[in-house]
Structure 1
Amino acid sequence: MPRGAAVSSAAPDRPITVEVCCGGVADALAAEEGGAGRVELNAALPLGGLTPTVAAVEAVRRMTGLQVVAMARPRAGGFCYGDADWSQLLAEVDALLAAGAHGVAFGCLTPEGAVDVARVREVVGRAHAAGAEAVFHRAFDLVPDADGATAILAGVGVDRLLTGGQAPTAPEGAGLIAHLQAAWGGRVQVLPGSGVRPGNAAALVAETGVGQVHSSCSGFVTAPGAAAVAHGVDFSVPGCGPERLPCVDPGTVRELVAVLR
């Protein structure tokens, strides 16, 4: 698209899948209430998302009709894993798949920041053997060579790539996302995520040509019971204050689905 060209914010002329990033079972229920078709299920979203429990995966499968992609990330921080962390990640992948996840989201990089080909191939093999999808997450946004990394991921059978276009938000990275969709979309699904909201989603889809979006559709709820701060002890969620919890807002999901319908 030429620099400065107008980008339409009208609803796209094709079905768009809305995937909602969820921090637990309640979030998944809210995502389904709002009309999402798929969730990425995590624990510890304030840390960027860690592996959810098997019980959470089983509950979402039992209580909803959603497609469930479960995060496989054993710790916070970067995506170069030592042997102990990697062994844990593989065990988590197996457990998530056995619990009924339709896919696993993961990412692994070398010490130099490139895609760790052998390890990606191992996870892809386990996911596909279970009839599930392998999704490479935003670890991709740290690699030095986007096209080279995408070629590797497509070559080893990764089904979907979650990316913010190597930018803080997907709207900021829309140029790279559009390039990835045009160059690689026939071999690996491109899923833009980070900063996707009802107010920018239609324009993002129009500019990039993607067929799906990933959004937290976040809001807040009042925490039940006593506040999480007392006697100088603070267990509140960063950025939420002592009496609020982050959540998926079904109204925001509904609005996002509507603008992409």
Structure 2
Amino acid sequence: MMIEVCAGSLTDCLTAQELGASRIELNSALHLGGLTPSLATVILAKQKVFPPIICMVRPRGGGFCYSDLEKDEMFLAAKQFLEAGVKGIAFGFLQSDGTIDQVATKRMIKLCNDYQAESVFHRAIDCTTNYQESIAQLVNLGATRILTSGGKANVRQGVDNLRHIQKDYGNQIELCIGCGITPENVCELIEATTIRQIHGSFKEWQTDPTTSNQYVSYRYSEQGDYDAVGSHKLAKAINNIRGNTNG
């Protein structure tokens, strides 16, 4: 089993390492679905953690149809991260009609290949207009891996699609399931999809006493001041997976 932790900070990376994560996807701004982390965070993460690090390259929230200027930013960030020694880049390029931007995708895959790194097309795949066709295109383009919830809002809803693409394409491209993974459902979803890579943040809410006062608030959720990888949730998920595998 490959257990990939979706980290939003250096602290999250250290938590993931301590609890035995197999791989880390490093982001910023997880409340926006994950954006490009700072180069400083990447450099420090490479110094302090041992699991392989995949870096998100996503310049803004919203969708995945990028301007030329945004693409320039993404390719420069990816090159800097690869030169810093990360294991791979997570990215997603779509055209305005909801199809994969094959030109930009091919360019990013080549950049990753130039550094002997992994190219990971993230959940932008779940926003495409033709999910099955998009999977086939990424196989043909030579992407290393696809992170997906099966073209649905979460993995539980996408189980049937995930099972089918694993059967049809699992020997041609790596598949990793993400969105809606919890300690309680992780073993069930692995069994149902037969996919052996899972991705989750196992989020727990944290507090910071300086987030708000009687006049100003920087809180973006009523559940807490900011989110982080939850050590209790991640530990439980890993223990459940190991227990199920050993059993």
- Both structures adopt the same fold (TM-score exceeding 0.5): yes
Matching residue within 132, 149, 152 for 1:167? 152
1:198 corresponds to 2:183:
yes
- 1:108 is matched with which residue? 93
Contact 1:33 1:250 in 2 (8 A): no
Residue 251 of structure 1: how far off its partner (Å): 2.2
Residue 63 of structure 1: how far off its partner (Å): 0.7
- Report SS of the residue matched to 2:195: coil
In structure 1, list runs of 5 or more residues that go unmatched.
Answer: 1-15
Matching residue within 254, 257, 260 for 2:235? 254
- 1:236 is matched with which residue? 219
Q: Deviations over 1:176-214 (max 9, x none)?
A: 111111111111111110010111011111111111100
Distance in 2 (CA, whole Å) between partners of 1:65 and 1:245 is 26
In structure 2, list runs of 5 or more residues that go unmatched.
Answer: 243-247
State the AA in 1 paired with 2:238.
V
Q: Deviations over 1:70-91 (max 9, x none)?
A: 0000111110011111111111
Matching residue within 113, 130, 154 for 2:139? 154
Runs of 4+ in 1 over 6 A off after TM superposition: none
Contact 1:137 1:161 in 2 (8 A): yes
- 1:209 is matched with which residue? 194
Distance in 1 (CA, whole Å) between partners of 2:222 and 2:74 is 29
Residue 231 of structure 1: how far off its partner (Å): 4.6
CA RMSD for the aligned pairs? 1.2
Q: Deviations over 1:22-77 (max 9, x none)?
A: 10100011111121111110001111110001111111111111110100001111
Structure number with higher helix proportion = 2
Distance in 2 (CA, whole Å) between partners of 1:100 and 1:120 is 21
Distance in 2 (CA, whole Å) between partners of 1:249 and 1:43 is 16
Give me the identity figure in percent. 32
Q: Deviations over 1:208-256 (max 9, x none)?
A: 1111100111112332xx4311252221233444xx3311112221211
Distance in 2 (CA, whole Å) between partners of 1:127 and 1:195 is 28
Distance in 2 (CA, whole Å) between partners of 1:142 and 1:33 is 34
Distance in 2 (CA, whole Å) between partners of 1:148 and 1:170 is 19
Matching residue within 43, 46, 54 for 2:31? 46
- 2:84 is matched with which residue? 99
Larger relative contact order, structure 1 or 2 (CA cutoff 8 Å, min sep 6):
1
> How many residues are treated as equivalent by the alignment?
242
Comparing 246-255 with 106-115, greater Cα deviation is found at: 246-255
State the AA in 1 paired with 2:218.
F
**TM-score normalised over the length of structure 1:** 0.90
- 1:227 is matched with which residue? 210
Distance in 2 (CA, whole Å) between partners of 1:104 and 1:50 is 12
State the AA in 1 paired with 2:220.
V
Distance in 2 (CA, whole Å) between partners of 1:188 and 1:85 is 27
Distance in 2 (CA, whole Å) between partners of 1:100 and 1:215 is 23
Distance in 2 (CA, whole Å) between partners of 1:91 and 1:239 is 36
- Report SS of the residue matched to 2:166: helix
Distance in 2 (CA, whole Å) between partners of 1:76 and 1:246 is 17
State the AA in 1 paired with 2:155.
A
